[in-house]
Copies of this chain bind each other. A is one copy, B any other.
Amino acid sequence: MVSAILLVSCPDRKGIVREIASFIATNNGNIIHFDQHIDFQKGIFFARVEWDITEFRIPRDQIGEAFKPIAEKFSMDYRIHFSDYLQKVAIFVSKQGHCLYDLLQRFRSGDLRGSPELVISNHPDLRPVAEFFGVPFYHIPKSRDNKRETEEKELKLLEEKGIDLIVLARYMQILSKDFVDRYRNRIINIHHSFLPAFPGAKPYHRAYERGVKIIGATSHYVTEVLDEGPIIDQDIIRVSHRDSLEDFIRKGKDIERMVLARAVKWHLEHKVLVYEGRTVVFD
């Protein structure tokens, strides 16, 4: 079964659900999921609609065009995706491998649906991991002086491969505004604290110093402001005085992996909508 997924946001008013549902039913589609949300404070309507297109009367490459009149009538922002398209994913890493292993294993087992096309790193350490999973590894060392050139090299690679999603899997470098703009809402980072607490460098060290009783991780879309992008998921684990800084780091890894994997999964399944610095996640 192949399905189409419509992601919509627009000012709320009467009749939106009817129009969308009519568009699908009239053309012989069968709705599988209809998730809708209204932000009453701001008067915005959101929906994620997924329908079986096996017997749909509109050819898939014309669905977007056919939906346009409805979109215009309600001033919708909208995107249409298809479930059989395997999104191309680039993973950026530094030296820490736990998130990379985890993601690649989930892709291999099918728990994540997508195609990891390349791993980019400023360090050579994780090449064997990428190669074990059969994913090309690019070692692109970075220094203060060559940031612009290396980003250009990276962007060229991403374009050649037709990358849809970039995952920063404990990548300890900050991307330029230009880079971020090219992949707006398509770069997912994992930060190793429950934001907005401990943004920036060494969150576990600072958490340890502060004497917190929980540590956490946050997956979010990358924006030009460090660790301030729209949050996709967060979770925590309890710690105590018995935990050393090393224990914080070790325990945190499990949370980082899960919180990152959930965000990647939701993104790949077109379940995340971004608006005004926040997300709607139709999980």
Binding site for B on A (CB under 8 A): 12-18, 21-22, 24-26, 28-41, 97-98, 101, 105, 109, 111, 128, 132, 194-198, 210-214, 216, 230-236, 240-242, 244-245, 250, 253-254, 258, 277-281, 283
Of all chain B residues, the one with the shortest Cβ separation from A13 is B30
For the complex, give the distance between the alpha carbons of A198 and B196 in Å. 8
Of all chain B residues, the one with the shortest Cβ separation from A274 is B211
B-chain residues with CB within 8 Å of residue A233 when the two chains form the complex: 213
B14 contacts A18, C-beta separation under 8 Å = no
Some 30 contacts from A to B, beta carbons below 8 A apart, are A14-B29, A15-B25, A17-B31, A18-B24, A18-B26, A21-B21, A32-B38, A33-B38, A37-B241, A111-B250, A194-B197, A194-B212, A195-B212, A196-B198, A210-B231, A210-B277, A211-B230, A211-B231, A211-B277, A211-B278, A212-B231, A212-B234, A213-B232, A213-B281, A214-B234, A214-B235, A216-B236, A240-B283, A241-B279, A242-B283
A212-B234, A213-B234 known; A36 vs B31 contact (CB < 8 Å)? yes
